[in-house]
Chains A and B, each alone.
Chain A
């Protein structure tokens, strides 16, 4: 736009200058031409006066005047000659020759005495001076016409310049307009897309927030559910069984010495059975709450146990491959990984229809990598986020780790967890007395292979 403006100004300036030039030239030429014309007239008058003047003194004055006029005229002609346009040069030379002829014709006249002037003066005037003067005037007139023509041409030039300028201005304007329009369109589109993006983001955030709210509500609910089932199991199963044991023991003690030994033995067997099943129940509950082998044997044996239990309970073949610098991880790490695996196996068993699950634990310098891969039906990892996965994410995030699910419908799922391990966290003292630097390497392919 600025460029177009500058261009327009420049063209305008050029236009103004050219117009001025043409006008001033025309005026100057016209002025000189008028001078020449008036000089021609005046010279004619002086010639006439000179020729017709009987008084010699006065005639000399006219003659001197005539000389003056001639000088003036020649100066004017010279100055005109300097600025004459090429188109007018022909007329100019004609005028010049005519003028010099005029003066050369006049030259003998100045030698005439008063009698001769009186005798042939009028005839000379009529036959020589006036026609020549007429000729010169006509020439000057033609030159003036030419000048006028040139002015006209100049005006034409200016007009055409103006027209071209107009076209140019129009084009520039159109271009500027088109450019501006394009820019506006582009900006608009950009703004619209940004706005759309922002709106989408907002919707996503809002969705995530409601999802989170929902999930945390479900988490609380699940927590409560778990407590309820624990309480019910403690009360209904353990409590009832122990009450039954108490009743049987009372019966036994009141029947001592009264009932036969065989009867008493039967009662004892009943009590034994009750206690055995209660012990099993309590152990299972305790294991569910926290498997003691996580503390007793460490992470890998606990994971393997879990894998075996899961294999037993479900139709999945669960294997564990582990490579750790030391099995002595900090407690919260052990618990985290154990729970993540537990939850993942739970999910696999419930949703995936997998036939095999592969658990991999690996230590890489300052990171602990866990992956759980199944060959099940997969799911849309982008849009499905269950309670279990949320729990996993929370556990992992609490230790500063990251967690990622890769899955597509029909092609299994992989849960990858990465936990940072600080060197200070690693217990170098190995409780079991093994060489701590020994790399614990175990694969689940049991000794049988």
Chain B
């Protein structure tokens, strides 16, 4: 019965679950397995196990708790991302702070969920990252945007977003949606060289040094959610 269903739905998403709390892990597993399109293929209780399990099972999506013993979720994400670039990573965290989000993005995570609301958002998050999109807990997005607005207001700083041309804003959004330069060129009917130039210019204008910062900026700006 189980095998037939698995073979029947070829598009089933294979998932690795890593969290040091058994209760949490079991809860999430129950949640995921209530959906036929998901299959939890491996579980891990710490970062090291997660890396090992990922290497053997090659999951589509790895759901990693950020705070795990032995090897933190961030480091595990980094290693999994390096070894298996096709495995999309969703990070579970207790923190809505941008420091964690930036770290997670730098480590290669495409999704970032607050544990409080994980059960509500996990399914959407896994689907999104599986499609190559980013996903962040609405709570995180809200806080980051609020922080951003407050900073602009208290510091009277210039909103650098205003410096961007409409074309650059367009490209920023597409980049934040994890589109490649080539895809963007095709989508906007531009040459690859032009897209690269736009990208360079907008990064310079916004003072962004990495792709992770670019995504964070887009989230803070509300360009993506």
Contact = CB atoms under 8 A, between A and B. Distances in A.
B97 A317 contact: no
B150 A311 contact: yes
A447 interface: yes
Contact of A433 (B67, B78, B94, B214): B78
B217 interface: yes
B23 interface: no
Nearest to A316: B154
Contacts of A279: 116
A445 interface: yes
A259 B147 CA distance: 45
Nearest to B203: A447
Nearest to A280: B116
Interface stretch (A173-181, A218-226, A292-300, A331-339): A292-300
A447 B215 CA distance: 10
B9 to A, nearest CB: 30
Contacts of A302: 99
A432 interface: yes
A302 B103 CA distance: 12
Contacts of A292: 67, 94-95
Nearest to B79: A433
B154 A311 contact: yes
A154 B150 CA distance: 112
B72 interface: yes
Interface in B144-163: 147-148, 150-152, 154-155, 157-161
A280 B151 CA distance: 24
Contacts of A433: 75, 78
Interface string B125-154: 000000000000000000000011011101
A305 interface: yes
A448 interface: yes
A447 B72 contact: no
B160 A449 contact: yes
Contact of B160 (A280, A308, A311, A448): A448
A304 B116 contact: no
A297 B100 contact: yes
Contact of B103 (A297, A308, A448): A297
A434 to B, nearest CB: 9
Interface in A307-356: 308, 311-312, 317
A308 B97 contact: yes
B160 A301 contact: no
B206 to A, nearest CB: 6
B46 interface: no
B11 to A, nearest CB: 32
B220 A432 contact: no
B191 interface: no
A448 B97 contact: no
B15 interface: no
B97 A293 contact: yes
Contacts of B155: 317
Contacts of B151: 311, 446, 448
A308 B152 contact: no
Interface in A391-449: 431-433, 445-449
B213 interface: yes
B220 A431 contact: no
Contacts of A317: 154-155
Contacts of A280: 116
B28 interface: no
Contact of B67 (A296, A308, A431, A445): A296
Contact of B97 (A305, A431, A432, A447): A305
B188 to A, nearest CB: 23
B208 interface: yes
Nearest to B78: A433
Contact of A304 (B67, B99, B213, B214): B99
B207 interface: yes
A296 B221 CA distance: 26
A447 B208 contact: yes
Contacts of B147: 308, 312
A283 interface: yes
Nearest to A286: B94
A432 B78 contact: yes
Contact of A447 (B75, B159, B217): B217
Contacts of A311: 150-151, 154
A395 B141 CA distance: 37
Contacts of B90: none
Contact of A297 (B99, B208, B220, B221): B99
Q: Which of A276, A279, A296 has the most CB of B within 10 A?
A: A296
Q: 4 closest Cβ contacts across the A-B interface?
A: A301-B99, A447-B217, A317-B154, A449-B160
16 contacts: A279-B116, A292-B95, A293-B97, A296-B72, A296-B100, A296-B103, A301-B97, A301-B100, A308-B147, A432-B75, A448-B148, A448-B151, A448-B160, A448-B217, A448-B220, A448-B221
Interface of B: 66-67, 72, 74-75, 78, 94-95, 97-100, 102-103, 107, 116, 147-148, 150-152, 154-155, 157-161, 206-208, 213-214, 216-217, 220-221
Interface of A: 276, 279-280, 283, 292-293, 296-297, 301-302, 304-305, 308, 311-312, 317, 431-433, 445-449
